[in-house]
């Protein structure tokens, strides 16, 4: 399938190298090149077909080509920094391509036997040679690790922002953490908030989700409220969280961009903060 698609002049290819994707000459979108414009890649992946008319037209096969070194000159984008200026289609293709590439990078051997694996089904499966049938049980599929990310609001309608131990001064965000085996998303929210800042939350309202291929997560967003109705003391764990503070809307507006650097606009963290705030704030990482 991939060989036929690569040989088809109508096919278009998204290009990835070093975790960065090639943009169009004007920098406004993801470059989708004809295969003839590119050398043979180290890894070729099937990303799907376009569903809307435009450039390229609906029904066009889109492949992802992964290279160790940039195969052509151009503007190479980082999804975390540049994703906000891409269309929904292009940002989705970028996330899909990056997530698949990250998985292939760590899935070269069978997790069951340690045997080397080969790519199958357009890049959506890996299996040891000679085990093409799924009936063998040797197929390894791309994985996605669920994580919760939550804005926490106290009884005075203040938002919790915290600084991770590894972050520089001024950089803050909402809390987040991976879902553990046997947990619901809501249980993970309550556990993570209690572990990281010593606060008990009750109501957890789902806000949305975001693929986050760094390397293989989906971030599930919530707005959680403290059980206690009044002011609540924060006790950072000192391991992951260095500092934590409650913010009013007025204080956050005055501090953002000067005293504080908020998450980039590509991230669901920024969307959660601005959902609580009720509008746009200044200051990006």
pLDDT digits (tens, 9 = 90+) for 99-109: 999 999 999 99
CB 10 within 8 A of CB 63: no
Nearest to 275 by CA among 189, 176, 170, 149: 149
Phi, psi dihedrals of residue 261, rounded to the nearest 5°: -110, 120
User: Of 224, 227, 160, 240, which is closest to residue 186 (Cα–Cα)?
Assistant: 224
Structure confidence at residue 285 (pLDDT): 60
Q: Does the CA dihedral 60-212-190-265 come out positive or negative?
A: negative
Residue 131 confidence (pLDDT)? 79
Closest to 206 (Cα-Cα) out of 192, 217, 191, 220: 220
Residue 284 has pLDDT above 70, yes or no: no
C-beta separation of 283 from 170 below 8 A: no
Residue 197 has pLDDT above 80, yes or no: yes
> 209: which strand partners?
220
Q: Say which residue the tokens 């804005």 belong to.
A: 151
Residue 229 has pLDDT above 90, yes or no: no
* Distance (Å, whole) CA 63 – CA 58: 15
Contact in structure between 37 and 20 (CB atoms under 8 Å): no
- What is the mean pLDDT of the segment spanning 107-133? 90
Query: Which residues is 21 bridged to in the sheet?
Result: 16, 77
Sheet arrangement for strand 20-22: 43-49, 61-67, 12-17, 20-22, 76-77
Peptide bond into 55 cis (omega under 30): no
Based on DSSP, count helices (H) and strands (E) in the chain, helices before strands.
6, 13
What is the DSSP secondary structure assignment for residue 140, as one 8-state letter? B
The answer to whether residues 207 and 170 touch, using CB atoms and an 8 Å cutoff, is no
Domains for the chain: give ranges and CATH numbers. Answer: 2-106 (3.90.79), 145-277 (3.90.79.10)
Mean pLDDT across the chain: 94
Cut 0.85: pTM above it: yes
Asked if residue 56 has a cis previous peptide bond (ω within 30° of 0), the answer is yes
Please state, as a whole number, how many other Cβ atoms lie within 10 Å of the Cβ of residue 100. Answer: 23
pLDDT tier, 135 (very low <50, low <70, confident <90, very high otherwise) = low
Q: Are strands 201-212 and 20-22 parallel, antiparallel or unpaired?
A: unpaired
């Amino acid at each position: 399938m991939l060989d036929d698609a690569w040989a088809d002049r109508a096919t278009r290819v998204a290009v990835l190298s070093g975790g960065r994707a090639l943009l169009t000459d004007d920098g406004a979108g993801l470059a989708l090149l004809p295969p003839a414009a590119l050398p043979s890649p180290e890894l070729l992946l099937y990303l799907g077909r376009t569903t809307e008319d435009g450039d390229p037209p609906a029904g066009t096969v889109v492949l992802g080509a992964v290279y160790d070194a940039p195969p052509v000159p151009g503007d190479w984008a980082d999804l975390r920094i540049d994703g906000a200026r891409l269309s929904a289609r292009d940002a989705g293709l970028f996330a899909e391509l990056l997530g698949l590439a990250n998985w292939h990078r760590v899935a070269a051997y069978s997790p069951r036997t340690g045997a080397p694996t080969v790519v199958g089904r357009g890049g959506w499966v890996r299996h040891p040679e000679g085990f093409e049938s799924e009936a063998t049980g040797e197929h390894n599929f791309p994985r996605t690790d669920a994580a919760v990310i939550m804005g926490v609001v106290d009884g005075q309608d203040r938002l919790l922002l915290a600084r991770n131990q590894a972050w520089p001064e001024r950089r803050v965000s909402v809390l987040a953490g991976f879902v553990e085996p046997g947990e619901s998303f809501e249980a993970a929210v309550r556990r993570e908030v209690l572990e990281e800042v010593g606060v008990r939350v009750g109501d957890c309202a789902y806000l949305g989700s975001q693929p986050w291929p760094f390397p293989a997560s989906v971030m599930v967003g919530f707005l959680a409220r403290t059980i206690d109705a009044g002011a609540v003391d924060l006790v950072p764990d000192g391991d992951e969280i260095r500092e934590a503070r409650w913010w009013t809307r007025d204080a956050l507006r005055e501090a953002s961009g000067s005293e504080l650097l908020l998450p980039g606009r590509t991230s669901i963290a920024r969307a959660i903060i601005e959902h609580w705030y009720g509008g746009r704030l200044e200051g990006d990482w």
